[in-house]
Amino acid sequence: MHRITLGDFELSVFSDGTYPLDGGAFFGVIPKVMWSKKVAADENNYCTAGLNSLLIRTGKENVLVETGMGNKLSERMRKFYRQPAQLLENLSAAGISPEDIDIVINSHLHFDHCGWNTVRDKNGKIVPTFPKAKYYAPEGEWQYARKPSDRDAISYIPDNYDPLVESGQMTLLKGGEEIVPGISVRTFRGHTASMQGIIVQSPSGAKAPLSPGAVGTAEAVPFPRPFVPTACYISDLMPTTAHIDVSWGMAFDLYPLDTIASKKEYYARSIPEKWLTVFTHDPKVPWAYIEKEESGKMVAREAE
């Protein structure tokens, strides 16, 4: 069980399980002779990918970031991914029921990030898994998901979000909003055009003024205050500790050059301020502090 205290907040990681992912898709243009030193692959070239959700207990709310792959996959997708579907069991083992979740945030709407947003009830109707929760997702993702490209149409399953948008239970975000005090979102373009990182800073930290946004960012939304203990669920911008080098992106990324620019923008703040980075798909190390050695090599130092 991974748990850490961040100011007044308690952060813990809950997994929806692991699934096989093609090594070539996972590491894009990086040759296998290089990535296989970091990550093992089986005889079919499949690596093991994790599905990490982050639970933030603020003292007032239970906030769940990302909901894994869920239990609604089609037969065809089940053959590929085996539908691990362990998130609710793992939450329950820690004494957390679906009714206890007050807020759900999706970084983007690919099926492996919002699968447990909804379930089918006994009549086959799609209903929210977390009945009392307010859901949040990037508006640009939802717009794109209505008309995705042929390349990634398979990654969008409307049952994961459309019923929530229609009922008003899901709020769509532009990027830059603070959802509750200390928990905000910021757009990091690259994997998709509108994917958002979730930035967590306990409001009990120092009340320093807002700093200006990083140079060259697409939006003029400032990062939250500097030098307060901070964690960031950076999602598919760097899905595992093996992806922390700026040029190690996934083949899935729609805008690979923007992935590099967004990683640099993230590191410009996260490294000097020692942010805890949460990795969505790392099966072993769900969070770590990313550091840059003098040689320029990026290293992930595990949290104690």
Residues 157, 72: contact at Cβ < 8 Å?
yes
Q: Which is nearer to Zn ion, 236 or 282 (CB)?
A: 236
Kindly list the residues in this chain that would bind Zn ion in the complex (CB under 5 A).
110, 236
Closest approach, Cβ 52 to Zn ion, in A, equals: 13
Coil, helix or strand for 221? coil
Closest approach, Cβ 304 to Zn ion, in A, equals: 30
Instruction: Say how far residue 93 (Cα) sits from the centre of its chain.
Output: 22
Burial 155-171 (b: 16+ CB within 10 A, else e): bbbebbbbbbbeeebbb
Closest approach, Cβ 191 to Zn ion, in A, equals: 6
Q: Which is nearer to Zn ion, 72 or 110 (CB)?
A: 110
DSSP 236: G
Cβ atoms within 10 Å of 208's Cβ, excluding its own: 11
Cβ atoms within 10 Å of 271's Cβ, excluding its own: 15
Q: Which is nearer to Zn ion, 110 or 186 (CB)?
A: 110
Q: Which is nearer to Zn ion, 229 or 249 (CB)?
A: 249
The bridge status of strand 126-128 relative to strand 118-120 is: antiparallel
What is the token pair recorded at 112? 């492996």
Q: Which is nearer to Zn ion, 236 or 265 (CB)?
A: 236
DSSP 242: G
Closest approach, Cβ 281 to Zn ion, in A, equals: 9
Closest approach, Cβ 236 to Zn ion, in A, equals: 4
Amino acid found at 26: F
Q: Which is nearer to Zn ion, 118 or 202 (CB)?
A: 118
Closest approach, Cβ 194 to Zn ion, in A, equals: 11
